[in-house]
């Protein structure tokens, strides 16, 4: 999250399908390392299992982001120009205060909303 010491994280490195992403204190942990290729953001576990970020349920309405098999799914296509978006929604943390374990999802974009402001490093 921009302006905080919290980063997107895969809790416990769990690659089970549907594992929801959350915030955690930024570190050099593998659970906070993602790749961006052809519109997909992916996570590869130390055990070499690769999963893609996915708007769970495939709905263009607000929903959680979790891990899923990588494929040509429309709900796995993200853009990182300005806010991180998928399906016309902005990636955001739930609530207004960042804390370790807060869920990450998508919701309607709100201009300048801190909960939708991300920094990314590739």
pLDDT tops 60 at residue 122: no
Q: Is residue 57 part of a domain?
A: yes
Name the pTM for this structure.
Answer: 0.79
Q: Is residue 36 part of a domain?
A: yes
Domain membership of residue 67 as a residue range: 6-116
Q: Looking at the 3D structure of the chain, how many domains does it have?
A: 1
Q: Is residue 122 part of a domain?
A: no
For residues 30 and 105, the answer to whether their CB atoms sit within 8 Å is no
CATH assignment of the domain containing 109: 2.80.10.50
**Per-residue pLDDT tens for 19-68?**
999 999 999 999 999 999 888 999 999 999 999 999 988 876 667 899 99
């Amino acid at each position: 999250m921009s302006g905080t010491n919290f980063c997107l994280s895969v809790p416990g490195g769990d690659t089970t399908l549907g594992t929801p992403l959350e915030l955690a204190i930024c570190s050099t942990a593998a659970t906070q390392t993602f790749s961006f290729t052809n519109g997909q953001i992916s996570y590869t576990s130390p055990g070499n299992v690769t999963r893609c970020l996915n708007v769970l349920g495939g709905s263009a309405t607000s929903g959680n982001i979790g891990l899923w098999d990588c494929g040509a799914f429309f709900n796995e296509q993200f853009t990182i120009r300005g806010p991180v978006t998928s399906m016309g929604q902005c990636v955001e943390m739930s609530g207004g205060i960042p804390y370790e374990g807060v869920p990450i999802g998508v919701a309607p974009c709100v201009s300048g909303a801190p909960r939708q402001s991300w920094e990314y490093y590739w």
